[in-house]
Structure 1
Amino acid sequence: MTQLTLPKHRVPTAVRHTIPKTPVRCRDTGVSAPPPPPPPPPRAALPVLLTAAFVTTLDFFIANVALPAIRADLGAGDGALQLVIAGYGLAYAAGVITAGRLGDLYGARRMFVVGLALFTAASAACGLAPGAGWLVAARIVQGAAAALMAPQVLTLLGVLYPGAARARAFGWYGSAVGVAGVSGQLVGGLLIASDPAGLGWRTCFLINLPLGLAALALVRRALPKDADRARAGKRLDLTGTALVTLGLIALVLPLTLGREQGWPVWSWLSLALAVPLLGGFWTRQRGQADPMVPRELFTGRFTRGLVSVALLFGGSAGLTFVLALHLQEAEGMGPVESAAVFTALNAGFLLGSRLKALLVGALALPAGLVLIAQLGTPVPGLLVAGVAMGMVMSPLLSKVLGEAGGDGRDGAAAGVLGTVQELGGVLGVTVTGIAYFAGGGLTAGLAVLLAASALLAWTLRDGRRPA
């Protein structure tokens, strides 16, 4: 577990003299009194961590609405435009497990600061890109930096906020991630439409600069320093890192680009190659004294929780994908108008994230999807679906990380969780997209999502909230 030391607080002189210099002992039993609870984390800790979670999630989606303007301004071809989107997600998915291991080895705060600084710099490079190649390269670096931050955010939330405070912290985390995910296109559309300083699409990336710089300025007093730890015999397994990184690239790349390119031969070869690469990584972990991903991590509850996370994030990504297509292609809405419809999902998510009821939310999600399919407007159904997702997300993430069991495995657990979130989103878009484009339209896409939501409810059937 990443150990942290909280900043020392100066005790007023008048109070200092009243503190006994020897341990307080109970008069009757002679048993030493328990040590006082640790001081609460600084107030700025949660805003800093939530800012990172928000901007890294927002950047998955905000660039979609900017693609036509990027094509016109930079002369980008179809392949470059695809990589502007896919490059970010690919680098993120391939790097999260390694980033979690780096947090365990060198400290979550340290790796968070490195990731935040790199993400801010890469955002500036995206916004100032003189050509399509530069933009694609900067987006890949941006995705790698987001991957470096993601598991550290989860680890720090778990360490800094114990007990009931942890559930509240993850509630805010779920709100930040959910709102960023469903508002990305709306934010991007508004930025391009307002065209501040004549920057056009570049504002979709440059907006990260003030947020990133403000978070960096607050880190020193917001997040306690990593405690010094003996790391004898602990190191980054470079072979394992190469295997898991290449394996995830081989898996995610065809799922991201294969459908749009008609599933060419290379996509199937890549999927086939992912099997021995990831299998080799898993086999190698068994022979390591200090593995990147301990096998002991995969208890029944943790594994089932990962399945639930994949279904939830896959359903969320699939819903926004097929509904956005339907609103623009079948209903004739523009990008900004269709994105505005999703404000109902945002509002519902914010409301639901304050309720935190796993089983109730999982049972309400299919009802929201049915309303979307049956009513003439998707707004009521989106509101119900948003409430349901908000009720499930934050307690689910908290519960899954709680099953990791600590013992120095927080970073590894957060890395696996982040990878599953990304893979779930990619699979959700891929599967619902196949159903949509096969001729079934919105009805077929919603049928896939209904099946996924039913399976989600089954995996959460015990209905317990995190401790």
Structure 2
Amino acid sequence: MTAPTTGEAVGAADPYPPLAAPPTGRARWFVLAVGLTCTFLVVGGVSIANLAMPSLQATLHVGFGAVQFVVAGYGLVYAVFLITGGRLGDVMGRRRVLLAGLVLFTVAVLVSGLAPDAPVLIGARLVQGFGAALIYPQILSIIQDTFEGAERNFALGLFGATIGVAIVVGQLVGGALIQLNLAGLAWRPAFLVLVPLGTAALLTGRRVMARDEPAGRPHIDLAGTGLLGAALLLLVLPLLIGPGVGWAWWTWVMFAAAVPGFALFIRYEQRLDRTGRTPLLRPSLFRQRAFGVGIAIGVLYFITIVGLAVYTSLTFQVGLGLDPLQAGLAFAPVGIAFFASSLVVPRLVPRLGRSVLVLGHVLLLGGLIAAWATVHGAGSGLSAVELALPLLLIGTAQGLTMSPLIGVVLTGIRPSDKGSASGALTTAFQIGQALGVAGIGTVFSVLGARPGAATASSRYQVAYQSALLLMAALTLVSFVLVYALPNPHDSRPHHHFLWVRHGRRTGLAHAFYLLTGGHAVGRRLSHWFHHHEGKH
């Protein structure tokens, strides 16, 4: 969940001791139900909002940048506070922090669904992202502490399946609720549907989850969190609102201020590291090539796949005239192919090593180019059915790339640093998602407003083609960077650690968890890697 605290002996006792009195009998299955519900809330809460953008803009009468902020703001706050949320679980106890996060998340979702205007909605989404950052880092440890043996493997298999289902089903549920327009509420039910789920999880969790004792008092880098958040805001906010205000001078000032903002963050983290405290990000990790390359690949890759999800859905609705449910169904091939190919990955990584990432990038690049060629060739006669094959290709590529990415990157990291690196990598991936909404959205917004295109349909298709080309270019850069990663093509266990350590099904659950922001395995990884490195 977090990096090892400075001075902690690698190879010492597990920093997450078992619960003093873990639930027994039926109670432990209710604990699992709470964990799976929380997983659906956090992961599904992202995809549900994707399809609401046209409805939000129409009913709140706001610009495109404001509705982008509704989507990106959640992801940005979630990314910035993930490591802090994990460390709060260490200091205050995982049960307490998870329940507190559920309160914030559920109240924020309720406010989102009732929001009278865009500022209230954006503020509620920011709080929702903070609540998610408190919830998600705790889930895996709670499941592991509650179950043992075959039951634990079964529970972790359900956990991984829930993540995959939330990615696919969240968008369909959101689309259906928006399309039904219940009581004339338009997009609001897509948020309000999460309120009873959050309330049920909160009430059940208070009753069945065992209290846990804090495992220590690690340093919580609140100043570093604030500096990183401020620097990211200076970068992302102008991307969201710049096109709508004609790139006013102050947007360029914010861009310029982001550079010293990031420099100040790095310098502060270096000082913490030198003084023996635990920084949010250890700058010394960048001296290891695999870490810097892995960060770059992860950010580029997540910019692409999130940008694709958000703006393909938007193009389906505004550019092709589909209703929200139809748009969700039209994009479903990506989620289905992603889930199916992810199940195959555990068999491929031990045999192919880094080549799995190469294959995934080739398929993604091919799918993006095929999608561009389809849109370009069809012109005004484009239909969503014509994009089904490219989207299947893209979904397959995502499954082949996303789940093994962290394992391959960590191959080149020193054993004592793997826990810290895993936390930093997952945070970077979530930041990439927020940048995907903002960065790809900037291109989409500028070209979508192109005066030479006569209709909304043609404007959006022009913008979508340009966005596809930009995403293809980012994928090409990421593809080249893959060759700078270590090639884990041998029998050493840490080269495909998730599947060796946990088995294929539960290893996939750990991979999904890390990719969606989980840090619970971070310090355990340090101990496990150190133990196995000593044997080889």
| Cross-structure match for 2:360 | 361
Cα 1:229–1:86 shift into 2, 3 Å? closer
Shift of 1:201: 2.7
1:64–1:185 contact (8 Å) kept in structure 2: yes
Deviation at 1:463, TM superposition (A): 6.0
- Alignment of 1:453 onto 2:475: yes
The Cα of 1:106 is off from its aligned counterpart by 3.6
Residue 284 of structure 2 corresponds to residue 284 of structure 1: no
1:140 aligns with 2:153: no
Q: For 1:229, what is the secondary structure of its paired residue?
A: coil
Letter in 1 for 2:197: L
* Offset at residue 238 of structure 1 (A): 4.2
- Once the two structures are TM-superposed, the CA of residue 208 in structure 1 deviates from its matched residue by 1.2
Match for 1:370: what amino acid?
A: I
Report deviation, 1:83: 4.6
Seen in structure 2, the aligned counterparts of structure 1 residues 197 and 400 have a Cα distance that, compared at 3 Å, is farther
| Partner of residue 420, structure 1 | 428
Rounded Cα–Cα distance in structure 2 between residues aligned with 1:117 and 1:403: 40
Separation in 1, partners of 2:173, 2:23: 43
Specify which of 108, 111, 121 is matched with residue 97 of structure 2.
111
Which residue of structure 2 aligns with residue 17 of structure 1?
none
Encode CA deviations 1:49-84: one digit per residue, 9 max, x unaligned. 454343223333433544565566666677765553
Give the Å deviation of 1:159: 8.7
Matching residue of 1:214 = 200
Residues 84-113 of structure 1: CA deviation (Å, up to 9, x unaligned): 344434433443343344344444444333
2:398 corresponds to: 389
Q: 1:172 to 1:443 in 2, by over 3 A?
A: farther
Q: Offset of 1:124 from its aligned partner?
A: 1.8
Contact 2:19 2:145 in 1 (8 A): no
Report which stretch shifted further, 295-304 or 338-347: 295-304
Which residue pairs with 1:466 in the alignment? 496
Classify the secondary structure of the residue corresponding to 1:444.
helix
Distance 2:59 2:293 in 1: 46
CA pair 444-345 structure 1, distance change in 2 beyond 3 A: same
Residues 96 and 416, structure 1, Cα contact 8 Å, conserved in 2: no
Per residue, is there more helix in 1 or in 2? Answer: 2
**Partner AA of 1:292 in structure 2:** P
Q: 1:162 to 1:362 in 2, by over 3 A?
A: farther
The gaps in structure 1 that reach 5 residues or longer are 13-40
Structure 1 residue 378, shift from structure 2 partner: 0.9
Letter in structure 1 aligned against 2:294: G
Q: Distance in 2 between matches of 1:361 and 1:49?
A: 31
What is residue 203 of structure 1 aligned with on the other side? 189
Q: Which sits farther off after the overlay, 193-202 or 220-229?
A: 220-229
1:147-177 Cα distance to aligned partner (Å, 9 max, x none): 3334445776899999999999988777655
Retained in 1: the 8 A contact 2:311–2:464?
A: yes
Task: Name the amino acid aligned to 1:248.
Answer: L
Q: Which residue of 169, 173, 178 maps to 1:187?
A: 173
1:15: which partner in 2? none
Structure 2: any 5+ residue segments left out of the alignment? 5-14, 349-355, 379-385, 451-461, 490-494, 498-536
Report the more deviating stretch, 189-198 or 173-182: 173-182
Relative distance call for 1:10 and 1:138 in structure 2 (3 A) is closer
Letter in 2 for 1:365: L
| Residue of structure 2 in register with 1:340 after alignment | 329
CA-to-partner distance for each residue in 1:246-266, whole Å, 9 max, x for gaps? 222222222333344443322
Structure 2 match to 1:302: 291
CA separation of 1:226/1:120 partners in 2, compared to 1, >3 Å: closer, same or farther? same
Deviates more, 1:156-165 or 1:210-219: 156-165
CA RMSD of aligned residues (A): 4.2
In the alignment, is the contact (CA less than 8 A) between 1:372 and 1:379 conserved in 2?
no
1:189 aligned counterpart, secondary structure: helix
In structure 2, relative to structure 1, the CA distance for the partners of 1:223 and 1:402 (3 Å cut) is farther
Residues 66-77 of structure 1: matches in 2 within 5 Å?
66-67=52-53, 69-70=55-56
Which residue, out of 299, 314, 339, partners 2:303?
314
Per the alignment, residue 352 of structure 1 pairs with 341
- Deviation of residue 379 (structure 1)? 0.2
* Maintained 8 Å contact 1:196/1:203: yes
The CA distance in 2 between the partners of 1:422 and 1:200, in whole Å, is 28
Summarize deviations over 1:251-294 as a string: whole Å, max 9, x none. 22223333444433222211222222222222122222213223
Q: Matched residues in 1 for 2:66 and 2:339: separation?
A: 35
Opposite residue 125 of structure 1, the aligned amino acid is: V
The residue number in structure 2 matching 1:96 is 82
Matches within 5 A, 1:198-277: 199-219=185-205, 226-231=212-217, 234-277=218-261
Bigger drift between 395-404 and 208-217 goes to 395-404
What TM-score, normalized to structure 2? 0.67
CA-to-partner distance for each residue in 1:160-202, whole Å, 9 max, x for gaps?
9999999999887776556545665543231022244665432
Distance 1:329 1:303 in 2: 39
Provide the rounded CA distance (Å) in 2 between the counterparts of 1:249 and 1:77: 19
Q: Distance in 2 between matches of 1:197 and 1:155?
A: 41
CA distance in 2, matches of 1:268, 1:176: 42
Larger Rg: 1
Greater shift, 116-125 or 368-377, is seen at 368-377
Equivalent residue, structure 1, for 2:383: none
Whether the aligned pair in 2 keeps the contact of 1:175 and 1:353 (CA below 8 Å) is: no
Q: Deviations over 1:217-256 (max 9, x none)?
A: 454688665444343xx54344334322322222222233
Q: What amino acid does structure 1 have at the position aligned with 2:279?
A: M
When normalised by structure 1's length, the TM-score is: 0.76
Residue 57 of structure 1 aligns to which amino acid in structure 2? V
Q: 1:206 and 1:432, CA in 2 relative to 1: closer, same or farther beyond 3 A?
A: closer
Mapped partners of 1:10, 1:46: distance in 2: 11
Q: Quick one: percent identity of the two aligned structures?
A: 36
- The residue type equivalent to 1:423 in the other structure is I
Cα deviation code 1:361-417 (max 9, x no counterpart): 33322232233234461101111211221222223245657888787985x656533
1:249–1:430 Cα change, 3 Å: closer
Q: Which residue pairs with 2:501 in the alignment?
A: none
Q: Report the AA paired with residue 473 of structure 2.
A: A
